Amino acid sequence: MGKAPEAHLPRIDWDRPWLQAWREPGQRVACAVGAGVALHQALNAVQPAPVCFAPQCSLPSGEAYESFIARTRLCPTREGSHDFFNGLCWMRFPQTKCKLNQLQDAEIAAAGIAPVRGPVRDALTVFDENAAFLSAPQPLWDALIARDWHSLFITHRALWQEAQLVLFGHALLEKLLQPRKPITAHVYLAQPAMTSIAELDAWVAADLSAARLATKPFAPLPVLGVPGWWPENENFSFYDDSLVFRPPQLS
pLDDT tens for 41-82 read 999 999 899 999 999 999 999 899 999 999 999 999 999 999
Is the pLDDT at 166 greater than 80? The verdict is: yes
Per-residue confidence (pLDDT) for residue 6, from 0 to 100: 41
pTM, to two decimals: 0.92
What is the structure's pLDDT at 114? Answer: 62
CA dihedral 134, 135, 137, 142 (to 10 degrees): 30
Q: pLDDT value at position 115?
A: 62
Helix, strand, coil percentages (3-state) for the chain, rounded to 5, are 55, 10, 35
Residue 94 CA, distance from chain mean position: 13
Q: At residue 43, what are phi and psi to the nearest 5 degrees?
A: -65, -45
Domains of the chain, by residue range, sit at 22-92, 126-240
For residue 223, what pLDDT band results from cuts at 50, 70 and 90?
A: very high
Contacts 24+ apart (CB under 8 A), 94-98: 94/49, 94/50, 94/201, 95/201, 95/202, 95/204, 95/205, 96/168, 96/201, 96/204, 96/205, 96/208, 97/50, 97/51, 97/128, 98/50, 98/205
User: Mean pLDDT throughout 91-105?
Assistant: 97
CB 68 within 8 A of CB 76: yes
What would the pLDDT profile of 3-42 be if each residue is shown by its tens digit? 433 447 999 999 999 999 899 999 999 999 999 999 999 9
Share of the chain above pLDDT 90, in %: 81
Q: What is the pLDDT of residue 116?
A: 60
Does residue 235 carry a pLDDT above 50? Answer: yes
